[in-house]
Structures are given as C-alpha cells and as structure tokens.
Amino acid sequence: MSEESNVVYIGRKPPMSYVMAIITSFTGSDAKNVTLKARGRSITTAVDAAEITRRRFMKELNIGEIIIGTEEIQQEEGGTRNVSTIEITLTRG
C-alpha cells in the first residue's frame, strides 16, 4: 500500500492550468493515481479538469473514487463556516 500517489490542489485558476498539473503529475512520476482536492466554488473546476484530462489528453485514465465532505473553516471575524469538499482520484489504466 506504499504505492506512490500524488495530489493536485484545485484553486481558482482556469481548469486548463490544473489539467497541465495532472498530466505533469502522472508523467513525472510512477504514480498510478492522482487525487484532485477542491473545496467550495473550485469543486466545479475539479470536475472540469478531471473530465478534460481524461477526454482530451489521457484517454487511458479512469475515474476512481469520488469522495465528498464538509470542512470547517475558521473565519477571520471569528466563528466558523462550513464549506463542501471533493476528492476525485484518477487512475492510470
């Protein structure tokens, strides 16, 4: 279970930036899996990046596990608020 695995954190850049990061992550290592992690509004970008990578660039990729969850964020003005999260694992066939 010590198989190499990489994580790409998805933020507010356009999906194509993360597509490049995913491809680099696969080609620059022996990783069989790359996991995309995103929260809040970036969740859509994570799905876009996964789909574009798989359909346009690495057709041998499969969608593995998809996990959704909730994270508590500390707010500067005090208190917390909840934000949704997603993890999408891409697997090289």
Distance, CA of 63 to CA of 78 (rounded, Å) = 38
Binding residues (CB under 8 A) for its own copies: these are: 40-41, 43-44, 47-48, 50-51, 55, 63, 66-70, 82, 84-86, 88
Cβ 66 to its own copies, closest distance in Å? Answer: 4
Distance, CA of 43 to CA of 33 (rounded, Å) = 19
Cβ 69 to its own copies, closest distance in Å? Answer: 7
| C-beta of 31 vs 88, nearer to its own copies | 88
- Nearest CA-CA partner of 69 in 35, 91, 38: 38
| C-beta of 29 vs 80, nearer to its own copies | 80
Cβ 6 to its own copies, closest distance in Å? Answer: 19
Give me the torsion for CA of 42, 45, 49, 55, rounded to 10°.
150
